[in-house]
């Protein structure tokens, strides 16, 4: 996982690159890499501040195609934060894939990963998986008091147990916070 400062430094370094919005969606909405690469213009409503995850980009036999999201719960609506809306409003195509190559097809996950890793290296940051941006999203949400059920739904996890088990390292911090809130209520 990257720290908030590392994420900000990374985003600043890539802000003028065409892949910048992909990173913002990963950290701002917690989507999986393939889910982001499969987004179409019709999946995002900047006015309603929501995006729909309906499919994912998969690589089969060296060819990119579209497939079903990981689970039924992975088909979902996710609220879009304002910073992401600002970044997307001038970059949204009228139709088709939002992130595409010149022939209109999806960006290769391998090319995205290469760009991600190259920029981490240039910045002297630890080598982490692209999926770490999703983990950062979930961890930051939980640390900032977002209801775990809301985080589960945004991530598309099939159960709240999966979310809580995956992010149990965050829970002790939340438990201490809860104890402090009870102190504030009952302390004389």
Q: What are phi and psi of 124, to 5 degrees?
A: 70, 30
HSE at residue 68, side-chain half, CA atoms within 13 A, is: 4
Rounded-to-integer distance, Cα 86 and Cα 20, Å: 12
Strand-pair category, 44-45 with 50-53 = antiparallel
Q: What angle do CA 71, 87, 30 make, to 5 degrees?
A: 25
Question: What is the total count of domains within the chain?
Answer: 1
Q: What is the pLDDT of residues 84-139, one digit of tens each?
A: 999 999 889 999 999 999 999 999 999 999 999 999 999 999 999 999 999 999 99
Range of the domain at 180: 4-186
- CATH number of the domain at 11, please: 1.10.443.10
Rounded-to-integer distance, Cα 77 and Cα 20, Å: 22
Rounded-to-integer distance, Cα 188 and Cα 63, Å: 66
pLDDT in tens, the chain (188 residues): 789 999 999 999 999 999 999 999 999 999 999 999 999 999 999 999 999 999 999 988 889 999 999 888 899 999 999 999 999 998 899 999 999 999 999 999 999 999 999 999 999 999 999 999 999 999 999 888 898 999 999 999 988 888 888 887 776 666 777 788 889 888 86
pLDDT of residue 188: 67
Question: Structure tokens of 4?
Answer: 């908030």
**CA 158 from centroid of its chain's CA atoms:** 17
Rounded-to-integer distance, Cα 153 and Cα 156, Å: 5
| Closest CA relative to residue 134, chosen from 74, 60, 54 | 74
């Amino acid at each position: 996982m990257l720290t908030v400062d590392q994420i900000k430094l990374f985003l600043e370094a890539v802000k003028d690159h065409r892949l910048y919005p992909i990173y913002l969606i990963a950290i701002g909405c917690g989507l999986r890499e393939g889910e982001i690469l499969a987004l179409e213009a019709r999946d995002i409503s900047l006015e309603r501040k929501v995006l729909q995850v309906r499919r994912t980009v998969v690589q089969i036999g060296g060819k990119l195609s579209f497939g079903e999201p990981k689970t039924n719960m992975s088909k979902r609506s996710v609220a879009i934060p304002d910073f992401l809306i600002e970044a997307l409003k001038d970059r949204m195509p009228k139709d088709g894939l939002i992130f595409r190559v010149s022939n209109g097809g999806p960006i290769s996950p391998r090319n995205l990963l290469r760009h991600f890793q190259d920029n981490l290296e240039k910045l002297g940051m630890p080598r982490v998986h692209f999926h770490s941006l999703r983990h950062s999203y979930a961890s930051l949400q939980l640390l900032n008091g977002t209801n775990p059920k809301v985080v589960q739904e945004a991530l598309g996890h099939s159960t709240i147990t999966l979310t809580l088990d995956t992010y149990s390292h965050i829970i002790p911090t939340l438990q201490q916070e809860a104890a402090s809130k009870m102190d504030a209520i009952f302390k004389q």
